[in-house]
Amino acid sequence: MLPTPYQIIAPLVALIAILYAWNLVFRQKKTIWEATLWTLFWGAIVGIAIYPDVIDYLTVATGIQDRENAVLVTFLGILSFIVFYLVVRLEEMEQRLTRIVRMQALKDVRMDEKDRK
Amino acid sequence: MKVVAVIPALNEETRIGDVIRSVKPYVDSIIVVDDGSRDQTPKVAKDSGADTVISHADNCGAGAATMTGISAARMLGATVVITLDADGQHDPADIPALLAPIREGKCDAVFANRFGRRNKIPLIRRLFNMIGNMVTFGATGKWVADSQCGFKAFGPTALEQLDLKMNGFEFCSEIVREAVQHRWRIEQVPTKVMYSEYTLAKGQSFAGGVKTALKLLLRSFIR
């Protein structure tokens, strides 16, 4: 049986994500533990893509069987991704704001990263 | 070896003075980071003998205040930094015990363990800490007996490498992550804890703990 486009794209995306995670480990920006968590996560995505039957028990549990529901679930997934992205952006902005407050506080007492010994 | 104490403080005008006076004999310098207090915390800190008082313009969280203090300590040429809470729950008499393994070159960071001794700790607090330990283990893969304690010592290597990005109480777990990331040698020293109604009221709430856990897990994925 020929693989579906999703069964080709999902493993490729997962492979890139896993390689990226381990690349961050080698650059000492991620721990081995975190990269392992990522690998498990993307491994599960690949597993489900290649062997969709493994989520049969979900179909039984949730009753999602027809196309309409599948579309709905897909969009829910996309929305979840967007929310995740927004949360990440908010986190970044919060950190940037904190950095400004911290730098200003140090400047106020005439301490600056530039003056660091 | 220049030992600097970093004390992040928020609305602690009634406690900070006693904390500074009791810590003074054990360290070379004290840095108080006022995290946007609405009371007289910075003034009381200065009057009580703090060598440096740094004020955040707004409340950023315990993690941000701690990192500001650590940055300042580096600039002052500190070789060892002790962090402790401003509410007086830690006993400064434990500072020498925390410093000893670093002085002997046995480790890079020392974590206080409030559960390693017979301390009067409320059951609910023990439960919250256990959950905190488990979440920290889940995110970092390292088990620390008292991961959420603010009483810590950092030796020269840890002090150089420490880079906290989390603003709130989750910074305690982030320190464990930093230890794993940089392969610091860690010691855990049993310490005394002096809980009062005041300190218990200022601690993390359950909702705060859940938020901490979620942020930790999120951070571990997006880093």
Q: How far apart are CA B35 and CA A92, in angstroms?
A: 20
Q: How far apart are CA B68 and CA A101, in angstroms?
A: 9
Same domain, A3 and A42: yes
Q: How far is A104 from chain B, CA to nearest CA, in Å?
A: 8
Paired strand residues for B110: B153, B187
Nearest neighbour of B60 by CB, restricted to A29, A37, A101: A101
Interface mutation vs chain A, best among B33, B67, B71, most A CBs within 10 Å: B71
DSSP class per residue in chain B:
--EEEEEEESS-TTTHHHHHHHHGGG-SEEEEEE-S-SSSHHHHHHHTT-SEEEE-SS---HHHHHHHHHHHHHHTT-SEEEE--TTS-B-GGGHHHHHHHHHTTS-SEEEEETTSS-----HHHHHHHHHHHHHHHHHHS---TTTT---EEE-HHHHHH------STTHHHHHHHHHHHTT--EEEEE--B---HHHHHHS--HHHHHHHHHHHHHHHHH-
> What domain count does chain B have?
1
pLDDT of A116 higher than 60: no
A98–B61 CB contact, under 8 Å:
yes
Mean pLDDT of A13-31: 89
Q: Is the ipTM of this complex over 0.90?
A: no
Same domain, A23 and A73: no
CATH number at residue B213: 3.90.550.10
pLDDT in tens, A37-81: 889 989 988 988 888 877 776 666 666 666 667 667 777 877 887
Whole-number pLDDT of residue A78: 78
Q: Which of A65, A88, A103 is the last residue of a domain?
A: A65
Same domain, A59 and A76: no
Domain of residue A79, residue span: 66-117
- pTM for this entry: 0.78
Window 21-80 of A: residues touching B by CB (8 A cutoff) are 24, 28-34, 37-38
Angle (nearest 5°) at CA B51 between B46 and B54: 70
Same domain, A45 and A79: no
Whole-number pLDDT of residue A117: 44
Q: What is the pLDDT along chain B (223 residues), one digit of tens a residue?
A: 899 999 999 999 999 999 999 999 999 999 999 999 999 999 999 999 999 999 999 999 999 999 999 999 999 999 999 999 999 999 999 999 999 999 999 999 999 999 888 888 888 888 888 888 888 888 888 999 998 899 999 999 999 999 998 888 888 988 999 999 999 999 999 999 887 777 777 666 666 666 676 776 666 666 6
Nearest neighbour of A98 by CB, restricted to B60, B141, B221: B60
Same domain, A8 and A41: yes
